[in-house]
Amino acid sequence: MAEGYLILETGETFTGTLIGSEKDSIGEVVFNTSMTGYQEMITDPSYAGQILTFCYPLIGNYGINLYDNESKRPYLSGVVIGDACETPSHYQAISSLSDQLKKAGIVGLTGIDTRNLVQLIRKKGTIKGYISKQKIAACEVSQMDAGSFWVKRVSTKEVVTYKKNGPHVVLMDFGFKKSILAALLEANCSVTVVPYHFTYEQICHLKPDGVLLSNGPGDPMELQDRFQDIKKITQRFPALGICLGHQLIALAYGAKTGKMKYGHRGGNHAVKELETGKVKMTSQNHSYVVIEESLNPKVFTITYRNVNDHTVEGIKHVQYPIQSVQFHPEAHPGPSDTAHIFDSFIQQLLALGEVNYATT
């Protein structure tokens, strides 16, 4: 395998071994602290355009299986690993991680001091990086276009419907994880997945009982032309926002978002449920947060707060049946402490609906 380099725009270069497609790639260098779940991470559309660094040093030990992909293909720009296992051991494994990366056209770099790299990101903030067989100057990396408006690339291009006997939920696809859809279907919901740009009128035509705004990649302000429709949709139908969907709901009602220094990514983020005082462990993956001071207390109450940095993790509208969370209640990977959020959303749909649903 060939030698490769991760060149950061801040001047540092990390040398390792190329795996996967061995192609040059540019992207934001971010890190995830989870010990397991690498397959779910590399197929999470929220990583589109990013180079994902795994904090846990041993990646690939249990291979790749047929069940844990969160999207049809990976959209990230690359992965950085301390030690990549080429001989996985698990009864469900169908390939190694490096083989899967090669098949998907994703470059990887292993043999890297990921601890040093993560400490650097924590100190300097999210950094643009370039993976290549050739060393280039940091100034060249800083001038490269890392891409933007990834939502358009990851969102579905067509309407897809899954029939069940329960409430009908429209899933607005900004880059949704398969686990969100699976959680709704497991709760017996009929689900219609629609492109991110669906209008208020198009949503109304589908006659949903509720709407879920999904997670997705990038800066939520890139979707500001959708804010008016999102506000009208959420005023008409009960709504749940997750991750990017949470940010979009807040923005649609006049709040503001900001980019974090290095984001929240991992399966062990503690959030406090303010109503009960209980602390929940959550799965998170985001760079942007809702700025608390920009929330109108006459419009939204804060329902969850991050235990470590006190950022806003959840909001609830004071008048309309609208709730949103910054974390992932469906987990995958991560704990399922907050899976009850789906249950409360569905119970809300049943309570507000006028349809007699068939029993299963």
218 is in an annotated binding site: yes
Tell me, yes or no, whether 194 and 337 share the same domain. Answer: yes
Tell me the pTM.
Answer: 0.95
**Pairwise CA distance, residues 312 & 159, whole Å:** 32
Q: What are the tens digits of pLDDT across the range 124-133? A: 999 999 999 9
Tell me, yes or no, whether 79 and 110 share the same domain. Answer: yes
Does residue 323 belong to any structural domain of this protein?
yes
Tell me, yes or no, whether 65 and 168 share the same domain. Answer: no
Q: How confident is the model at residue 290 (pLDDT cuts 50, 70, 90)?
A: very high
Please say which residue of 142, 159, 179 terminates a domain: 142
What is the CATH number for 126?
Answer: 3.50.30.20
* pLDDT for res 16: 97
Q: What are the tens digits of pLDDT across the range 134-151? A: 999 999 999 999 888 999
Tell me, yes or no, whether 96 and 123 share the same domain. Answer: yes
285 is in an annotated binding site: yes
Classify each residue of 258-287 as buried b or exposed e, where b means 16 or more C-beta atoms within 10 Å of its C-beta. Answer: eeeebbbbbbebebbbeeeeeebbbbbbbb
Number of domains present in the structure of the chain: 2
Tell me, yes or no, whether 196 and 263 share the same domain. Answer: yes
Does residue 41 belong to any structural domain of this protein?
yes
Tell me, yes or no, whether 159 and 117 share the same domain. Answer: no
Please say which residue of 142, 159, 174 terminates a domain: 142
**Pairwise CA distance, residues 303 & 139, whole Å:** 44
Tell me, yes or no, whether 100 and 242 share the same domain. Answer: no
Does residue 120 belong to any structural domain of this protein?
yes
Does residue 359 belong to any structural domain of this protein?
no
Q: Which residue has the tokens 């060149």?
A: 7
105 is in an annotated binding site: no
Does residue 360 belong to any structural domain of this protein?
no
Domain hosting 209: range is 151-352
Please say which residue of 142, 163, 186 terminates a domain: 142
Tell me, yes or no, whether 229 and 270 share the same domain. Answer: yes
Q: What are the tens digits of pLDDT across the range 188-247? A: 999 999 999 999 999 999 999 999 999 999 999 999 999 999 999 999 999 999 999 999
What is the CATH number for 278?
Answer: 3.40.50.880
101 touches 133 (CB < 8 A): no
244 is in an annotated binding site: yes
Average pLDDT over residues 43-64: 97
**Pairwise CA distance, residues 298 & 309, whole Å:** 24
Tell me, yes or no, whether 137 and 157 share the same domain. Answer: no
Tell me, yes or no, whether 199 and 227 share the same domain. Answer: yes
> What residues are annotated to the active site?
243, 328, 330
Does residue 357 belong to any structural domain of this protein?
no
356 is in an annotated binding site: no
Tell me, yes or no, whether 67 and 132 share the same domain. Answer: yes
Q: If we measure between CA atoms, which residue out of 94, 174, 136 comes closest to residue 9? A: 136
Q: How confident is the model at residue 342 (pLDDT cuts 50, 70, 90)?
A: very high
Does residue 111 belong to any structural domain of this protein?
yes
